[in-house]
């Protein structure tokens, strides 16, 4: 068995993690003849010897702000005495300080608990990821920021002490928060507990946001994680929203007001890439809720992980295999430039406006093309006899979307996912380099950032460029 542990950091990341594990829960309902995956890769089986039953908990560690878990408590299914409400007799001799209103259990969770028909999920009843989570997490899965509270009006930026005066919106805030307050406790506590449940850990998925404090938090966590588990493969998934570099007119009007967001994004991306084997820059469409974004994106996360966990041993691939298929052994090109299903590209890279001296779209050099085929379960050829150019095609079972995924994103269960590494990634690093040159006048790490961005841009260059961007500081 080669288990994979998922570390989910932020409210939006937890929505995607919830959708993914809801799909894993669906696999458990398939008959023995229908089984398409090895459930123990992502789920930890717990055997009850008395009732002779097996229950499963996700191999996951979730980070969120206080109240970000919604109505779900750390020990909700194992112990209820950590709650005052409903246990007044237990707490009758103690002083209870109410810091926030009680969050009621969602209709969907009530329906699951009472085995009544499930209500239809909408944007209104999926504010929290726990509103529609199907599996029961172990107590060690939950990790909470002690001083930051979930803001339902701005769910991706927690609020300090629930005072409405300071947001979890800077890379430095998140980085310092983890290193100063949680690093030792997390690694010696919950992470260690989850690792002990694995026989042979293959690697980890890290899912996070990169435009706010969670990006810095994840960077610090991942750096320490690679020191702790240097030989384990890490796939990182970072959510990106639109910014000035995704619109031609916005680039021309780019001002310093974008400095905090771009600073967060570039610092988080580069540091996460440095400590990851593969980095998937996910696009979070403007106007979609976290529930909808997770439902849309889950096709990508599930396809990669279905390849790792499928029950067919001849088709199953290790995380290292997928890494090599994308990077071709060049670790400096570990960003997945394109994640396409048909005409839909789920990568943030596809949103970036070409840099001023870039190739046209049909001239970008493609370094590698890998395909995860979910259209059928049997390869058309024997992989061992296939030509070298076809060895990057991987096969797995069709998509089994959970009923918690929005209807508009749950169709088309047979498809091929194309993972591409190309020169297009250069555009984002060149834009960022120019931005740092113009606007990071007083940052102590300015020159270091410029050098790192230049190195990443160079890794995605092929051939000669007319270097119109001088990079002069007087621009």
**pLDDT tens by residue, 111-130:** 999 999 999 999 999 999 99
Two tokens, residue 61:
């560690």
Ramachandran category for residue 25: left, alpha or beta (phi over 0 → left; psi -120 to 50 → alpha): alpha
**Phi/psi at 215 (5° precision):** -65, -45
274 neighbors 244 (Cβ within 8 angstroms) = no
The residue with greater pLDDT, 77 or 135, is 135
pLDDT at 388 over 50: no
pTM to 2 decimal places: 0.91
Helix (H) / strand (E) containing 45: strand 43-48
**Domain 3-347: CATH superfamily, name plus number:** Tubulin/FtsZ, GTPase domain (3.40.50.1440)
Report how far apart the first and last C-alpha atoms of the chain are (Å, whole number): 56
CA distance to 398, 420, 422, per residue, from 362 (Å): 31, 14, 11
CA distance to 18, 147, 153, 318, 445, per residue, from 283 (Å): 18, 29, 21, 25, 27
Chain centroid to CA 90: 40
- Give the other-Cβ count within 10 Å of 224's Cβ: 18
Two tokens, residue 89:
């007799």
- Least confident residue range of 274-283, 349-358, 389-398: 389-398
pLDDT at 79 over 50: no
Q: Strand locations in 132-171, DSSP E? A: 142-149, 159-160
- Least confident residue range of 9-23, 35-49, 234-248, 387-401: 387-401
Q: Where are the domains of the chain?
A: 3-347
**Phi/psi at 147 (5° precision):** -105, 5
**pLDDT tens by residue, 297-331:** 999 999 999 999 999 999 999 999 999 999 999 99
Q: Which DSSP letter does residue 209 get?
A: E
For residue 202, the model assigns a pLDDT of: 97
How many whole angstroms separate alpha carbon 226 and alpha carbon 206? 12
How many whole angstroms separate alpha carbon 168 and alpha carbon 54? 40
Going by pLDDT thresholds of 50, 70 and 90, the confidence category of residue 252 is confident
With CA atoms as reference, report the closest residue to 11 among 148, 117, 107, 119: 148
270 neighbors 453 (Cβ within 8 angstroms) = yes
Which position has the token pair 């840099």?
355
How many whole angstroms separate alpha carbon 234 and alpha carbon 219? 13
The residue with greater pLDDT, 99 or 345, is 345
For residue 470, the model assigns a pLDDT of: 45
For residue 96, the model assigns a pLDDT of: 53
The residue with greater pLDDT, 118 or 88, is 118
How many whole angstroms separate alpha carbon 163 and alpha carbon 145? 15
Mean pLDDT of 262-276: 97
For residue 431, the model assigns a pLDDT of: 96
Long-range contacts of residues 178-186, Cβ cutoff 8 Å, at least 24 apart:
178/216, 178/217, 178/220, 178/221, 179/220, 181/146, 182/143, 183/220, 183/221, 183/224, 186/143, 186/221
For residue 385, the model assigns a pLDDT of: 44
How many whole angstroms separate alpha carbon 147 and alpha carbon 159? 8
């Amino acid at each position: 068995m080669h288990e994979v542990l998922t570390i989910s950091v932020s409210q939006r990341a937890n929505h995607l993690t919830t959708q993914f594990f809801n799909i894993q829960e669906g696999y458990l309902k398939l008959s023995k003849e229908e089984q398409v995956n090895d459930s123990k890769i992502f789920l930890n089986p717990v055997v009850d010897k008395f009732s002779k039953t097996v229950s499963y908990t996700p191999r996951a560690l979730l980070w969120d702000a206080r109240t970000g878990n919604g109505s779900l408590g750390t020990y909700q299914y194992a112990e209820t005495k950590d709650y005052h409400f409903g246990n007044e007799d237990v707490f009758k001799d103690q002083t209870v300080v109410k810091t926030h209103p009680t969050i009621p259990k969602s209709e969907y969770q009530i329906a699951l608990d009472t085995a009544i028909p499930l209500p239809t999920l909408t944007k209104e009843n999926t504010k929290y990821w726990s509103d529609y989570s199907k599996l029961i997490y172990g107590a060690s899965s939950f990790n909470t920021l002690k001083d930051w509270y979930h803001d339902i009006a701005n769910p991706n930026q927690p609020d300090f002490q629930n005072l409405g005066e300071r947001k979890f919106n800077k890379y430095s805030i998140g980085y310092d928060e983890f290193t100063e307050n949680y690093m030792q406790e997390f690694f010696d506590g919950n992470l260690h507990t989850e690792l002990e449940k694995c026989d042979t850990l293959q690697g980890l998925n890290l899912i996070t946001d990169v435009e706010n404090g969670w990006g810095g938090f994840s960077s610090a966590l991942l750096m320490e994680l690679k020191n702790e588990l240097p030989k384990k493969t890490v796939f990182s998934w970072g959510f990106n929203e639109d910014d000035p570099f995704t619109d031609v007119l916005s680039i021309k009007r780019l001002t310093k007001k974008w400095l905090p967001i771009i600073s967060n994004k570039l610092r988080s991306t580069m540091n996460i890439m440095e400590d990851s084997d593969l980095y998937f820059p996910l696009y979070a469409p403007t106007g979609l809720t976290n529930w909808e974004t997770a439902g849309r994106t889950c096709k990508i996360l599930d396809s990669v992980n279905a390849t790792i966990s499928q029950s067919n041993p001849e088709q199953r691939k290790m995380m290292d295999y997928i890494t090599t298929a994308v990077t071709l052994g060049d670790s400096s090109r570990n960003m997945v430039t394109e994640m396409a299903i048909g005409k839909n590209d789920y990568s943030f890279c596809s949103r970036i406006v070409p840099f001023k001296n870039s190739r046209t779209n049909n001239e970008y050099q493609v370094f590698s093309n890998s395909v995860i085929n979910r259209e059928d379960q049997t390869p058309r050829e024997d992989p061992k006899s296939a030509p070298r150019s076809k060895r990057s095609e991987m096969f797995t079972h069709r998509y089994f979307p959970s009923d918690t995924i929005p209807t508009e994103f749950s169709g088309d269960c047979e498809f091929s996912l194309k993972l591409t590494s190309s020169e297009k990634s250069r555009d984002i690093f060149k834009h960022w380099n120019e931005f740092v040159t113009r606007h990071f006048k007083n940052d102590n790490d300015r020159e270091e950032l410029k050098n790192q961005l230049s190195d990443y841009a160079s890794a995605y260059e092929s051939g000669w460029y007319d270097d119109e961007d001088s990079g002069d500081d007087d621009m």
